[in-house]
Amino acid sequence: MNPAQLLAHFDRISHAPDAIPSLRRFILDLAVRGKLVEQDPRDEPASELLKRIEDGVRERKAHGEPTEPRNAIDVAIDSLPFTVPPSWRWTRLIQIADVSYGFAFESSRFNSNKVGMPLIRIRDISGTDTQAYYQGEHDPAYVVTKGDYLVGMDGDFNVRKWKGPDALLNQRVMRIKNWQAALVAEFLAIPLQMILDHLHALTSQTTVKHLSAKHVNGIYISIPPLAEQHRIVAKVDELMALCDRLETAQVERESRRDRLVASSLNRLNNGEAADTFHDHARFYLNHLPRLTTKREHIQQLRQTILNLAFRGLIVSQYHDDEPGTALLQRIASQDSQKRRVGGRRRENRPPLTPLDCKGIFETPKNWAWTHLDFLCESIADVDHNMPKAVSDGVPFISAKDLKDDGTIDFTAPKMISEDDYQRLSRKVQMRRDDIVYSRIGARLGKARLVNVDTRFLISYSCCLVRPLHAFIDKHYLRSFLDSTLALSQAHKGTQSIGVPDLGLGEIKAFKIPLPPLDEQRRIVAKVDELMALCDRLETQLTTTHADSLRLLNAVLHDALAPAG
């Protein structure tokens, strides 16, 4: 391999999903196919090596040692996902090494205080120590020493070289040692892992997959000439070291970019002086394609757009707009007792007065702050008793049906009976231009606008938010409820340590900045424009990753082609 060739393209291919792991897998794939180094005709043939292995098998057989499997499920060589050079030879794993299995040590003698011998369970094979120790008598045959190879027989069938101190081999862990004829274990572990991966894919689709001794007895390993084994291991080590350096460089580069993105967005979000703000905004927008290389960056950008919107920093203020304080005065002048919530009149409502925004953030002078309750005709939820599901009925939308793309998913919701709908809808009736707001669970704080005339009801995990359309733009209110400004207030108002549960009183008390109505509409238009830009960036990011993956595969095939 020519490292310079790979490095020349790495800035592009590293954007591919799992670029470094893909490179590592490809190196190992070429190693087991005999395409990583040259075959040297001067090497002692693998057939001679196989003869010595067979001599050793006959010698052990003469001493009464078992050399043939009593039960085996042979793994067909032609079914494996790789082929090997004609000069290589195949032989059973159990004929080239000692294979043994762990013991079911008495669990009552386990301890976590490191008293006794370390006990290797499947979870421990990749480490240098174990989570459990065993205090008691044990058979020396079950002692694992440094350098033995271990295989987890449940789960992923991983092959690992033990790097810890002497330890005991627990059940469902296989140990391989004493490789015959000076075979290079570091090489043989590579095709063994690929064969085990193949067996893993063939085993039944159960929660945990199991490897049996019959399968192990049926494993054949490909054997190159001994000198070639050493060359392959040396090349693999060299290329894995290169991968380590590439990974370190990639991590550092991404870390620098992440810090730059975080710093840039932090400056924008902190509402600095106008001239400084515009300089930072200009820098970020000029470098947007290079800065937004992850979906997390775009998600952060979306929230920054909303944060700036509610600070009055994405559109201009006009002096002839009716100020937010005047809007509040007009709301206060209405007969609040005539506005209903779930069929009940509002009682004992506090007087509407502008809020002090100190401790939150500064907004333009013609804005006002108020509680969410004063900008809504209704904020309500249904009875807390969950109605029974039916196969055919009225959609019963819950928080899980609020999609990340900003819509409500009506394709597979829970259905409730007509009787339950009629009973529950006496309190809450959903209609177009209402907002469904999730108030319980992991999806707390999702707001979705109803833009269909479908008849449906919401579950207790959500609540209805119905804007006073004459005073607040529905899209502005929906965006506020979806912003970190609302989410931070939601988390402060949750009533449960376990599952977050936000009461209606806390939702009604949300503090919301209120611009002039015309400015609200300008903000909504600008937010839509910038969110569309985010959509394009996400599409571009997907395309870039796909292109990088194709380039990665092409470069790997070229850069890792065998010499000569």
The rounded mean pLDDT for the chain is: 85
What CATH number should be reported for the domain holding residue 112? 3.90.220.20
Q: Report the C-alpha gap between 500 and 439 in whole angstroms.
A: 8
CB atoms within 10 A of CB 210: 13
The helix (run of H) or strand (run of E) holding residue 22 is: helix 19-33
Task: Indicate the range of 144-148, 250-254, 372-376 predicted with least confidence.
Answer: 250-254
Give tens-digit pLDDT for 228-274: 999 999 999 998 998 888 888 888 877 887 777 777 667 666 655 44
Residue 286 has pLDDT above 80, yes or no: no
Among residues 191, 223, 255, which one ends one of the domains? 223
- Whether 306 and 455 share a structural domain: no
Contacts of 253 (CB under 8 A, 6+ apart): none
User: What are the angstrom distances between the C-alpha of 128 and each of 3, 83, 125, 456?
Assistant: 32, 34, 8, 58
Task: Indicate the range of 44-58, 61-75, 165-179 predicted with least confidence.
Answer: 61-75
What's the token pair of residue 292? 């937004």
- Whether 22 and 146 share a structural domain: no
Q: Report the C-alpha gap between 78 and 49 in whole angstroms.
A: 22
What pLDDT, on the 0 to 100 scale, is given for residue 276? 56
pTM of the predicted protein model: 0.63
Give tens-digit pLDDT for 499-545: 778 899 999 999 999 999 999 999 999 999 888 888 888 887 777 76
- Whether 439 and 353 share a structural domain: yes
User: Which has more confidence, 536 or 466?
Assistant: 466
- Whether 287 and 314 share a structural domain: yes
Give tens-digit pLDDT for 173-218: 999 999 998 999 999 999 999 999 999 988 766 667 899 999 999 9
- Whether 379 and 413 share a structural domain: yes
What pLDDT, on the 0 to 100 scale, is given for residue 495? 64
- Whether 164 and 184 share a structural domain: no
What pLDDT, on the 0 to 100 scale, is given for residue 85? 95
Residue 345 has pLDDT above 80, yes or no: no
- Whether 75 and 134 share a structural domain: no
- Whether 71 and 219 share a structural domain: yes
Residue 92: which of 66, 115, 62, 118 has the closest Cα?
A: 66
Do 437 and 481 contact (CB within 8 A), yes or no?
A: yes
Contacts of 195 (CB under 8 A, 6+ apart): 75, 80, 219, 221
- Whether 291 and 312 share a structural domain: yes
Contacts of 401 (CB under 8 A, 6+ apart): 408, 409, 410, 413
- Whether 487 and 393 share a structural domain: yes
Number of structural domains, the chain?
4
Residue 299 has pLDDT above 70, yes or no: yes
What's the token pair of residue 538? 């996400």
- 3 state SS of 516: coil
β-sheet with 457-458: strand ranges across: 414-416, 394-397, 457-458
Domain encompassing residue 72: 44-93+179-223
Q: From the centroid of its chain, how far is CA 300? A: 16
Among residues 498, 515, 532, which one ends one of the domains? 515
If pLDDT is split at 50, 70 and 90, which confidence band does 99 have?
Answer: very high
Give tens-digit pLDDT for 431-444: 999 999 999 888 89
Q: Report the C-alpha gap between 55 and 236 in whole angstroms.
A: 30
Which residue's structure tokens are 């209704």? 378
* % of the chain exceeding 70 in pLDDT: 82
- Whether 187 and 258 share a structural domain: no
- Whether 365 and 511 share a structural domain: yes
Of 222-236, 271-285, 491-505, which has the strongest mean pLDDT?
222-236
User: What are the angstrom distances between the C-alpha of 438 and each of 379, 386, 435, 461, 501?
Assistant: 12, 16, 10, 6, 10
Of 65-74, 159-168, 523-532, which has the strongest mean pLDDT?
159-168
